[in-house]
Amino acid sequence: MLWKTQIPVAIVFAVGMLTLIQWFVPHWPFDQIQVHTTQWFDIIAVFAVILGGLNLLKLQLQKVISRGRDWPYALVTIVGFLAMMVYGFSPVGVPEGIRLGDHLQANGSHFRWMFFNVFTPLSATMFALLAFFVASASYRAFRVRNAEATLLLVAGIILMLGRVPLGAKMTAFLPHFMQLPTVQEWIYAVPNLAGARAIMIGIGLGMVSTSLRFILGIEKSFLGGDE
């Protein structure tokens, strides 16, 4: 109980209060708190990556060894993981005259080649899926079920067409205030902005309230072990 709850809650309280105080007290040493605590967090997070990496390797190796379902995918993961480790941390694939570390960005290094020719297209492919998923999701979900849904649908259509040259061309014959780019700009800048600001204020207050619950030890379930 002491180690699992009380000490962690005390640490949360102390660090939380210090972080809050430093915002209002610019004098040394309070001005150093935020920079240092953030760096501590980064250092801990970097070491924790090893934990995550080992967990990933363990699970994938188990799959390959036990020839579990879809095990070849696990093998691809392991090979990719090890390849990037070798190219990132060892002298393999480092061009002559380039220091280890600098090779990550250097022309001709295997790491850079992998980054631009394997990682980049794969990432771009995943991001590009959005184009297809936006189409399927709007096709499925935008229905004139009721007045609000209809409003959403009409606003969505105006935005989609108004943001591209085709929309401008389609409505070029209308007066300026009725042209799609003008209307979409208005939707963005007025009703959408009002809603976004309201949501952001609510989120801000929610964050303050949640943080306060953490600092004061009212909410401690995120620490586990309080049951």
Partner 1 sequence: MAGNNSFLVKMGQLDRRLVFVVIGIAVFLPLKFPIGLAVVTTPTTQDVFNAVDSIPEGSTVLVSFEYGPSTRPEIEPMAITLLRQLFNEKQKVVAMALWPDGQFMSTRVLERIADKEYGLKWGVDYVNLGYRPGQEAVIKGIAKDLRANYNSDVRNNPVEDLPIMDGIYTVKDFDFIFSLSAGYPGTVEWVLYAADPYGIPMSTGVTAIQVNEVIPYVKGGQIKGILAGMSGAAEYENLVKAGDATRFMDAQSVAHFLIVLFIILGNISYLVQRRKQTA
Partner 2 sequence: MKRKRFGPSRLSAAFLLLVPYLAFAQDAGPDGGEAPAAYDPPPAAVTHLTARDAPDDAGKHIILEFERSADDAAGAADVVSYEVFRIDPAGIETSLGVLPVSNKDTLRLITFDDQMPGLVNGTEYSYKVVTRDASGSSDSKLDGTVRTSGQWFALGRFNMLFSVLMISFFILYFIKKAQRGEEIYLRPVAGLKAFDEAVGRATEMGKPVLYVPGIMDLDQVETVAGVIILGYVSKMTARYETELEVPVSRSLVMSNAREVCRSSYLSEGRPELYKDDMVHYLTDDQFAYAAGVDGIMLRKKPAACFYQGKFYAESLILAETGNSIGAIQIAGTASPSQLPFFITACDYTLIGEEFFAASAYLSKDPKLIGSLKGQDWAKGVVMIIIGVGAVVETLHVLGVLPFSLQPLLVAG
Does position 7 interact with partner 1 (CB under 8 A)? The reply is no
| Distance from chain centroid for Cα 106 | 27
Q: Residue 25, interface with partner 2 (CB under 8 A)?
A: yes
Task: Confirm or reject binding of residue 143 to partner 2 (CB under 8 A).
Answer: no
Q: Which of 139, 147, 148, 173 binds partner 1 (CB under 8 A)?
A: 139
* Residue 205 near partner 2 by CB under 8 A: yes
Distance (Å) of CA 101 to CA 54, 82, 95, 111, 200: 23, 17, 12, 10, 41
Stretch 53-92: interaction string toward partner 2, x if CB under 8 A: x-xx--x---------xx--x-------------------
Say whether residue 164 binds partner 1 (CB under 8 A). Answer: yes
Residue type, 156: G
Quickly count: other Cβ atoms within 10 Å of residue 120's Cβ: 11
- With contacts defined by CB under 8 A, name the span among 6-14, 54-62, 69-77, 181-189 that binds partner 1: 181-189
Helix ranges, the chain (H): 7-24, 30-65, 71-89, 110-114, 120-141, 147-162, 165-170, 180-187, 193-215
Q: Are 159 and 187 in contact (CB under 8 A)?
A: yes
**Cβ(4)–Cβ(223) under 8 Å?**
yes
User: Considering only residues 34, 39, 117, 210, which one is a binding residue for partner 2 as defined by CB under 8 A?
Assistant: 210
Contact of 74 with 80, CB cutoff 8 Å: no
Number of other residues whose CB lies within 10 A of the CB of residue 94: 20
Structural tokens at position 31: 């001005």
Q: Does 168 bind partner 1 (CB under 8 A)?
A: yes
Structure tokens at 133: 């998923």
Q: By CB under 8 A, tell whether 223 contacts partner 2.
A: yes
Q: Rounded to the nearest whole angstrom, what is the least distance from the CB of residue 154 to partner 1 in the complex?
A: 10
Question: Could you give the CA distance from residue 152 to residue 21 in angstroms, rounded to a whole number?
Answer: 44
Tokens linked to 81: 């993981």
Rounded CA separation 105/51 (Å):
26
Q: Please report, as ranges, the residues that interact with partner 2 according to CB under 8 A.
A: 20, 23-28, 30-31, 38, 41, 44-45, 48-53, 55-56, 59, 69-70, 73, 122-123, 126-127, 129-130, 133-134, 136-138, 140-142, 196, 199-203, 205-214, 216, 218-219, 221-227
Q: Please report, as ranges, the residues that interact with partner 1 according to CB under 8 A.
A: 31, 34-35, 38-39, 42, 46, 102, 105, 112, 115-116, 119-121, 123-124, 126-128, 130-132, 134-136, 138-140, 142-144, 153, 156-157, 160-161, 163-169, 181, 185, 188-189, 192-193, 196-197, 200
